[in-house]
Structure 1
Amino acid sequence: DEHKHDEHEVDRDHTHLTEELKEITSIFEFVRLPDSAECVQKKIDQSLRDVVTDGGASKDLGHKDVVIEANLTCGHPDKITAFDFGPAFERFEDLEKIEVEGVVGDRSLSDSLTRERVKTSI
């Protein structure tokens, strides 16, 4: 059955992606911050989440969102004026979009980035 073959292919892809996610140990592999901010990563978590845009009716069973959450402590957070996610787009050729949410000091950040716009300012 062709449909079952596709499901096994999707399972293999998800297993590979899960293994690749486990290898991500530093958020600095994906985002550039100014050295002058003196940021140190305290925690990083990676997960996969199913994407359901049409109530599950689509045949696009294989689409997942990768969620990477990181906590950083910065000696000089005021030196952070932008986040450059160019490294993430360089590493993953099929990456389409990055949803960025965060808090830096008393400033909040929420933005959507693409290959055409890899930086977000705060």
Structure 2
Amino acid sequence: MISCSSHGELIEELRDLVKRMERALGEENVVTLETLNSLGGQLRTNGQYEEAKEVHERCLAGRMKVLGEDHEHMLMTLNYLGIVYKRLGNHEKALEYYERALKGTRGCWGRFIRVRSAP
């Protein structure tokens, strides 16, 4: 259990936890990747977008390899990267990640999702 008194402490604890999990379970373990994704989320929340981008890109590479391109966790990471690139002001790259996430979501959940056409 992680017990922290500040957001900065939580980020440091998550960084340490990711390192320990990578050593114990491996970099491509699904639990390690989920923890890495959580670290990216905390970095995003704290406004540390450059580091969040790096962490989410590492997570994306691992999830793509382990889970495949249409897995819902991989699609969430694509969306998070879209958010990060938007916050960094790179709207073109953000749109690229959002579109990849949407395309994958349609592949994964296609029959459940109906996208309205623009009038």
TM value normalised by structure 2:
0.27
Higher-helix-fraction structure: 2
Larger radius of gyration: 1
Greater strand percent: which structure? 1
What TM-score do the two structures reach when normalised by structure 1? Answer: 0.27
Higher-RCO chain (CA-CA 8 Å, sequence separation at least 6): 1
